[in-house]
Amino acid sequence: MKYENDTENVEILSPKNQLQLFGYDDYFNSFIKLFHKNKLPNTILLSGLKGSGKATFAYHFINYLFSYKEQDKYSVNNFTINPDNKSYKSLCNYIHPNFFLLENNSHEENIKIDNVRNILKFLNKTTYNSNIKIVMIDNAEYLNINSSNALLKVLEEHNANTFFFIIHNSSNRILDTIKSRCIQFKFFFTLSERKSILKNIIKQYRNNFSIDEINDNFYFDTPGNVLKYLEILSESNVDYTKDKLSCISYLIDKYKQKKDSQLLILISLMIELFYNELSLKNNKKLHIYFYHKFKILKQINDVKKFNLDKNNLFISLQEMLKNES
């Protein structure tokens, strides 16, 4: 499951670089109609589960807003960005004069008040080509009290030619005072829609990866999260479809190094697949496997929930799994 050009592919899969948008047809067309009727809200809050494609949607619509009067404009027929479009190139290189991005990729620190104050400096500059200005705030749940209050002031003072796209995960909190100043759009996809989006993304950007290898258990999560899980698994030389024990050991070692909470989710998923596989091989022990699986998954959940020591958990977990096989 090792991919070629992994670094390049990870960059391609980042929201700003995905040239085609999947699954958002109705949302996108609704936004276009609102804009051309001068009814598009100036402050838009995009809500949805982590990995559902909110930032990708925002980048695509922002590209549409900047490019619809330009050459090589955005294609609304198949929701595709033209890579030759000058606005797209400027957005990708973070040099578009009418675009300001505030994001928190580290997920370790809050968005600081000085970062929010930089929005005011941007808004006070003259608009290039008398065009609209757009501010995009990604991972807005990392705003603290001070930066949230600073943002409220910005939202109160902006003019009608400025649009804010504020993105946050529905599993995290954002101040009600910010929500009250925004029109909220909640994105939700059914299981079949998530499958379709993921398959289209893999077909577009991962044509050397077999969709048939994706276990149905992966589809419980959003396409973006599943892609991250596949990226993690691809870094290992272990084929998770054939050797789940080695895969779990690899993920545990990786977690000890990176402390990424999504690794715990993936470890839980692989344990579930491991026990499902055992149950198919020996259905006489079905009730035992079910109990052991439930016990281990509960322990992992408790460790996450109460921030307990994970080293002891991993030692007992690996020992128990070895005894099962």
Domain-ending residue, one of 130, 160, 186: 186
CA-to-CA distance for 261 and 255, rounded, in angstroms?
A: 8
156 within some domain: yes
- Backbone φ, ψ for residue 317 (5° rounding): -65, -50
Beta bridge partners of 218: none
Residue 136 has pLDDT above 70, yes or no: yes
Q: Which of 17-21, 120-124, 143-147, 305-309 has the lowest mean pLDDT?
A: 305-309
Tokens 């949805």 correspond to 48
- Position 212 scores a pLDDT of 67
Residues 197/204, Cβ–Cβ less than 8 Å: no
Q: Are residues 260 and 320 in the same domain?
A: yes
Could you give the C-alpha distances from 284 to 66, 112, 278, 287, 288, in angstroms and in order? 63, 57, 10, 8, 9
C-alpha–C-alpha distance, residues 61 and 65, integer Å: 6
Specify whether 105 is located in the same domain as 160. yes
Instruction: Using the 3D structure, point to which of 186, 201, 232 is the last residue of a domain.
Output: 186
Q: Are residues 53 and 163 in the same domain?
A: yes
As a whole number of angstroms, the distance between CA 230 and CA 1 comes to 9
How far apart are alpha carbons 271 and 245 in whole angstroms? 8
Tens digit of each residue's pLDDT (9 = 90 or more) over 255-286: 988 888 889 889 999 999 999 889 988 888 88
Q: How many domains does the chain have?
A: 2
Residues 80 and 136 in one domain: yes
What's the N-to-C CA distance of the chain in angstroms? 23
Angle of CA points 130, 100, 198, to nearest 5°? 115
Read off the CATH number of the domain in which 129 is found: 3.40.50.300
Contact 128, 86 (CB under 8 A): no
The model's pLDDT over 144-175, given as tens digits with 9 standing for 90+, comes to 999 999 999 999 887 889 999 999 986 567 88
Alpha helices in 70-169, H assignment, sequence order: 86-92, 113-123, 145-157
What does residue 162 show for φ and ψ, rounded to 5 degrees? Answer: -120, 135
Does 224 lie in the same domain as 150? Answer: no
Closest residue by Cα to residue 213 from 245, 238, 231, 239: 239
139 and 261 housed in the same domain: no
- 179 plus 205 within the same structural domain: no
Q: Domain ends where: 169, 186, 203?
A: 186
More confident residue, 35 or 316: 35
What integer pLDDT is reported at residue 18 of this predicted model?
Answer: 92
Residue 4's pLDDT is 37
Q: Are residues 132 and 223 in the same domain?
A: no
